[in-house]
């Protein structure tokens, strides 16, 4: 059993090491005064939805303020009631998608309520220096910290908790990851440099979970994250997940929870996986434009059937729906999609186009002559 004291001690040691480093502000190179810029406070929303934002920046760079609260809580991850004692940003798995423009400043206040049991931090793959901000954001229960960094590179990037050593994978596979999208100031462009826009944006976060079982083979539940640590690490070391899910739970984006669109609408799908490689595929559709590596400074690939998201990264795919119906969006490791849960749905309304597809003859008995 991993106790709260042991958890805090381990992360406190890491924080102490950071404290012994030279003070960043005292030796920092002087730069533009971010404090002179205008400010915008943004309220984050739970995935798959994303807060309101402009696709093309209005005016010059600004400071975009976000607040995220860390929440340790039990989360049911499948239809059988299997419960993960999760660690989350803002209570959701994945954490919210943050959207800014290149050269904006991201200013995040990270809150770790006293009701939590563990220390946490945040590592932005989009940020430069201090382990992506991880060295500057350690917060014990009952503390908060504010970090500001400049969004210098465009694209989609993962963020995750990284408190040091074995705590890193454990926190990540317990739910502590999300993504940030940094748009070009003049918006997205295709391979010809022409502007492209989206009508809707959805954020799909893929997670692999490693749930311990009891002697009878049933999944175990625990009172706190620390109580689960030893058993979970044993499963993690086998590198075989028990669940691979979109947005925290088997079926979280299917049925009544399907993502909605209409024929003719263009949808941007941001897909993040903080730990394992994945292969998104839209059954019955395509990636019209795909930033497989998530970097908008690079020209997008066109007309992909399946795209590849490296573990520890986020990608983006743009598609205009041309037919109505239910589209399954899956990890095309089909075992993980069907058996472990990595399936979502798009429910698309509109009129059917027979020119694109039609059933020439309905099923009937096989002709004998």
**The tokens of 237 are what?**
């070391």
Q: Which of 120, 271, 286, 345 is catalytic?
A: 120
Clarify whether 230 is annotated catalytic.
no
Dihedral sign, Cα of residue 237, residue 232, residue 141, residue 176: positive
Q: Is 345 annotated as a binding residue?
A: no
Q: Which of 186, 230, 305, 353 is catalytic?
A: 305
Q: Which of 12, 83, 143, 332 is catalytic?
A: 332
The answer to whether the bond into 94 is cis (omega within 30° of 0) is yes
Clarify whether 171 is annotated catalytic.
yes
Q: CA-CA distance, 80 to 78, in Å (whole number)? A: 5
Clarify whether 125 is annotated catalytic.
yes
**The tokens of 222 are what?**
């625990």
Q: Is 171 annotated as a binding residue?
A: yes
Clarify whether 51 is annotated catalytic.
no
- The single residue listed with the structure tokens 């849960």 is 341
Q: Which of 40, 306, 320, 347 is catalytic?
A: 306
Q: CA-CA distance, 236 to 170, in Å (whole number)? A: 8
Clarify whether 146 is annotated catalytic.
no
Q: Backbone phi, then psi, for 227, in 5-degree steps? A: -65, -30
Q: Is 1 annotated as a binding residue?
A: no
Q: Which of 160, 243, 286, 345 is catalytic?
A: 160
Clarify whether 161 is annotated catalytic.
yes
Q: List the beta bridge partners of residue 70.
A: 89
Q: Which of 68, 98, 167, 176 is catalytic?
A: 176
Q: Are 136 and 173 spatial neighbours (Cβ–Cβ below 8 Å)?
A: no
Q: Is 51 annotated as a binding residue?
A: no
Q: Report residue 104 CA to chain centroid gap.
A: 21
Report the candidate in 51, 77, 76 with the shortest Cα–Cα distance to residue 65.
51
Q: Which of 68, 98, 161, 167 is catalytic?
A: 161
Burial of residue 31 (number of CB atoms within 10 Å: 0-12, 13-18, 19+): exposed
- The single residue listed with the structure tokens 């009937």 is 364
Clarify whether 120 is annotated catalytic.
yes
Clarify whether 101 is annotated catalytic.
no
- The single residue listed with the structure tokens 């698309």 is 348
Q: Is 85 annotated as a binding residue?
A: no
Give start and end residues of each alpha helix (H) in the chain: 4-19, 24-27, 167-173, 225-237, 334-338
Q: CA-CA distance, 3 to 164, in Å (whole number)? A: 17
Q: Which of 85, 171, 271, 345 is catalytic?
A: 171
Quickly count helices (H) and strands (E) in the chain: 5, 19
Clarify whether 214 is annotated catalytic.
no
Clarify whether 286 is annotated catalytic.
no
**The tokens of 263 are what?**
């024929």
Q: Is 332 annotated as a binding residue?
A: yes
Q: Is 53 annotated as a binding residue?
A: no
Q: CA-CA distance, 343 to 79, in Å (whole number)? A: 14
Clarify whether 243 is annotated catalytic.
no
Catalytic residues: 120, 123, 125, 160-161, 171, 176, 281, 305-306, 332
| Residues contributing to the annotated binding site | 120, 125, 160-161, 171, 176, 332
| Residues contributing to the annotated binding site for Cu cation | 120, 125, 160-161, 171, 176, 332
């Amino acid at each position: 059993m991993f106790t709260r004291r042991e958890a805090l001690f381990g992360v406190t040691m890491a924080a102490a090491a950071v404290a012994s480093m030279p003070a960043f502000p005292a030796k920092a190179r002087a730069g533009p005064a971010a404090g002179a810029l205008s400010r915008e406070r943004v309220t984050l929303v739970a995935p798959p939805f994303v807060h309101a934002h402009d696709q093309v920046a209005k005016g010059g760079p600004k400071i975009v303020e976000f607040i995220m609260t860390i929440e340790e809580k039990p989360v049911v991850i499948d239809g059988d009631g299997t419960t993960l004692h999760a660690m989350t940003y803002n209570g959701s798995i994945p954490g919210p998608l943050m959207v800014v423009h290149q050269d904006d400043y991201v200013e995040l206040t990270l809150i770790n309520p006293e009701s939590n049991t563990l220390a946490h931090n945040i590592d932005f793959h989009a940020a430069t220096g201090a382990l992506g901000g991880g060295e500057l954001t350690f917060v014990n229960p009952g503390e908060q910290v504010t970090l500001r960094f400049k969004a210098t590179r465009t694209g989609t990037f993962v963020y995750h908790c990284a408190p040091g050593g074995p705590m890193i994978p454990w926190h990540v596979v317990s739910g502590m990851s999300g993504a940030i999208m940094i748009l070009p100031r003049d918006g997205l462009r295709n391979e010809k440099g022409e502007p492209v826009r989206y009508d809707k944006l959805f954020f799909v976060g893929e997670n692999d979970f490693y749930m311990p079982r009891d002697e009878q083979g049933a999944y175990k539940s625990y009172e706190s994250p620390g109580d689960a640590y030893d058993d979970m690490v044993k499963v993690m070391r086998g590198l075989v997940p028990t669940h691979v899910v979109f947005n925290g739970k088997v079926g979280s984006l299917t049925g009544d929870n399907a993502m909605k669109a209409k024929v003719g609408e263009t949808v941007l799908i941001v897909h993040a996986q903080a730990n394992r490689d994945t292969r998104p595929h839209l059954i019955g559709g395509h990636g019209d434009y795909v930033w497989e590596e998530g970097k908008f400074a690079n020209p997008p690939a066109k007309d992909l059937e399946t795209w590849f998201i490296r573990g520890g990264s986020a990608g983006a795919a743009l598609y205009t729906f041309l037919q109505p119906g239910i589209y399954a969006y899956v990890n095309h490791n089909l075992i993980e999609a069907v058996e472990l849960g990595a399936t979502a749905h798009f429910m698309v309304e509109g009129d059917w186009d027979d020119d694109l597809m039609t059933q020439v003859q309905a099923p009937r008995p096989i002709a004998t002559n």
